[in-house]
Structure 1
Amino acid sequence: MAHRWKNTLTDRDVTDEAGWLNRRQIIAGAGAGIGLAGLGQPTWAATLEPNDWEDITSYNNYYEFGTGKDDPARHAHMLTTQPWSVQIDGLVDRPGAYDFEDIMARMTVEERIYRFRCVEAWAMVVPWNGFELADLLEMAGVRPAARYISFETVLRPDEMPGTRYPALDWPYVEGLRMDEAMHPLTIMATGIYGRDIPNQNGAPLRLVVPWKYGFKSIKSVVRITATDTQPPTSWNKANAREYGFYSNVNPEVDHPRWSQASERVIGSGLFARRQDTLMFNGYIDDVAPLYAGMDLTKFF
Structure 2
Amino acid sequence: MPMRWNPEIHPDEITPEGLFRQRRQIMRAAAGVGVGALLGLDPWHALAAAGKDLPDVRSGVVTTADKETPFLSATTYNNFYELGLGKEDPAKWADHLVVDPWSVTIDGAVGRPGRVALDELLRPHPLEERVYRLRCVEGWSMVIPWVGFPLGDLLKRFEPGGSARFVAFETVHDPERLPGQSRDILAWPYREGLRLDEAMHPLTILAVGMYGKGLPNQNGAPLRLVVPWKYGFKSIKSIVRITLTEEQPVTSWNAHAPEEYGFYANVNPAVPHPRWDQSKERRIGTLWRQDTLMFNGYGEQVARLYEGMDLTRNF
Does the TM-score normalized on the shorter chain lie above 0.5? yes
Is residue 113–residue 158 contact of structure 2 (8 Å, CA) maintained in 1?
Answer: yes
* Amino acid across the alignment from 1:172: Y
* Amino acid across the alignment from 1:288: A
* Equivalent in 155, 160, 166 of residue 178 of structure 2: 160
Question: Alpha-carbon deviations, 1:188-226, whole Å to 9, x = none?
Answer: 000011111000000000000000000000000000000
Is residue 230–residue 267 contact of structure 2 (8 Å, CA) maintained in 1?
Answer: yes
The alpha-carbon distance between structure 1 residues 35 and 196, as it changes in their structure 2 partners (threshold 3 A), is closer
Give the structure 1 partner of residue 302 of structure 2.
Answer: 287
Is residue 60–residue 129 contact of structure 2 (8 Å, CA) maintained in 1?
Answer: no
* Amino acid across the alignment from 1:106: P
* Equivalent in 80, 83, 102 of residue 120 of structure 2: 102
The alpha-carbon distance between structure 1 residues 56 and 273, as it changes in their structure 2 partners (threshold 3 A), is closer
Give the structure 2 partner of residue 63 of structure 1.
Answer: 81
CA drift at 1:34: 4.8
Give the structure 2 partner of residue 217 of structure 1.
Answer: 235
How do residues 38-49 of structure 1 correspond to structure 2 at under 5 angstroms?
A: 45-46=64-65, 48-49=66-67
How do residues 6-21 of structure 1 correspond to structure 2 at under 5 angstroms?
A: none
CA drift at 1:76: 1.6
How do residues 233-272 of structure 1 correspond to structure 2 at under 5 angstroms?
A: 233-268=251-286, 272=287
How do residues 92-171 of structure 1 correspond to structure 2 at under 5 angstroms?
A: 92-107=110-125, 110-120=126-136, 121-171=139-189
- Could you tell me which runs of 5 or more consecutive residues in structure 1 were left unpaired when the two chains were aligned: 1-20, 22-32
CA drift at 1:273: 2.9
2:203 is the alignment partner of 1:185: yes
CA distance in 2, matches of 1:247, 1:104: 28
Is residue 204–residue 227 contact of structure 2 (8 Å, CA) maintained in 1?
Answer: yes
- Could you tell me which runs of 5 or more consecutive residues in structure 2 were left unpaired when the two chains were aligned: 1-44, 46-57
Is residue 86–residue 224 contact of structure 1 (8 Å, CA) maintained in 2?
Answer: yes
Is residue 169–residue 192 contact of structure 2 (8 Å, CA) maintained in 1?
Answer: yes
The RMSD of aligned alpha carbons is 1.3
Give the structure 1 partner of residue 249 of structure 2.
Answer: 231
2:271 is the alignment partner of 1:278: no
State the SS of the aligned residue for 2:123: helix
The alpha-carbon distance between structure 1 residues 34 and 276, as it changes in their structure 2 partners (threshold 3 A), is farther
Question: Alpha-carbon deviations, 1:88-144, whole Å to 9, x = none?
Answer: 00000000101101112111xx21100011011201001000000001101111112
State the SS of the aligned residue for 1:256: coil
CA distance in 2, matches of 1:199, 1:228: 32
Is residue 104–residue 117 contact of structure 2 (8 Å, CA) maintained in 1?
Answer: yes
State the SS of the aligned residue for 1:190: strand
Is residue 76–residue 160 contact of structure 1 (8 Å, CA) maintained in 2?
Answer: no
CA distance in 2, matches of 1:34, 1:295: 37
CA distance in 2, matches of 1:57, 1:292: 36
Give the structure 1 partner of residue 16 of structure 2.
Answer: none
Output the TM-score relative to the length of structure 1. Answer: 0.84
Is residue 193–residue 249 contact of structure 2 (8 Å, CA) maintained in 1?
Answer: yes
Output the TM-score relative to the length of structure 2. Answer: 0.80
CA distance in 2, matches of 1:144, 1:113: 32
* Amino acid across the alignment from 2:231: Y
CA distance in 2, matches of 1:146, 1:277: 33
Identity of aligned residues (%): 55
2:312 is the alignment partner of 1:297: yes
CA distance in 2, matches of 1:189, 1:174: 16
State the SS of the aligned residue for 2:82: helix
